[in-house]
Amino acid sequence: MAHQILSKTTVYNAYAFSVENLHVKLPDDRERDYNLVRHSDSVTIIPLDSDGNIWFVTQFRMGCERILLELPAGTIDDGETPLDCALREVREETGMAAGQMTHLGSIYLAPGYSSELNHIFLATELYPAPLEMDEDEFLNVERYPANEALLLAQQARLQDGKSLAALYLAAGKLSS
């Protein structure tokens, strides 16, 4: 028998997420309360140009109170598919559009307390086609050779979990 949600109460609503209290019956018949952050699903994009460079962005992140090096990413809007979001976000964050977008897989970012599922895409055949950034974004673009991307993690320059997972999923495609 799987778990059963006995009750669900929204305890907080914010712009980007809500928090719910769930009263759950576990498979062994025990009952327990959990807090769950409901967050829209998201995308992470690995923009790979024809010279073999991956396009990263740097931006301030409140959770760690510092500027992080990351792959472009964003939240899926209502009615938008993961692919449509990836096509939009790569243009907003790097100024480049993708002639080819390949879905590599999906990961839960923090399944212990969040519902957010992140869809990972490899963007190739890049060409200039900028879109205006969201008003709360302040990004800088940095390019690194694909064969050096994992070194960024080993040097602790890349500490963003979704970017690390995305590079892992793309490893076979980046070395070919």
CATH of the domain at 127: 3.90.79.10
Q: Is the domain of 54 the same as that of 65? A: yes
Q: Which residue has the higher pLDDT, 39 or 135?
A: 39
Q: Is the domain of 55 the same as that of 33? A: no
Q: Is the domain of 154 the same as that of 68? A: yes
Q: Is the domain of 165 the same as that of 118? A: yes
Q: Is the domain of 32 the same as that of 44? A: no
Q: Is the domain of 31 the same as that of 87? A: no
Q: Is the domain of 95 the same as that of 105? A: yes
Provide the domain limits for residue 26.
Answer: 4-38
pLDDT of res. 176: 55
User: Which of the four pLDDT bands, split at 50, 70 and 90, describes residue 150?
Assistant: confident
Contact, 123 vs 44, CB < 8 A?
no
d(CA 19, CA 9): 9
CA of 161: how far to CAs of 134, 158, 168, in Å?
22, 9, 11
Average pLDDT over residues 60-85: 95
Residue 84, phi-psi category: left (phi > 0), alpha (psi -120 to 50), beta (remainder)? alpha
pTM beyond 0.85, yes or no: yes
Q: Is the domain of 28 the same as that of 76? A: no
Share of the chain above pLDDT 90, in %: 83
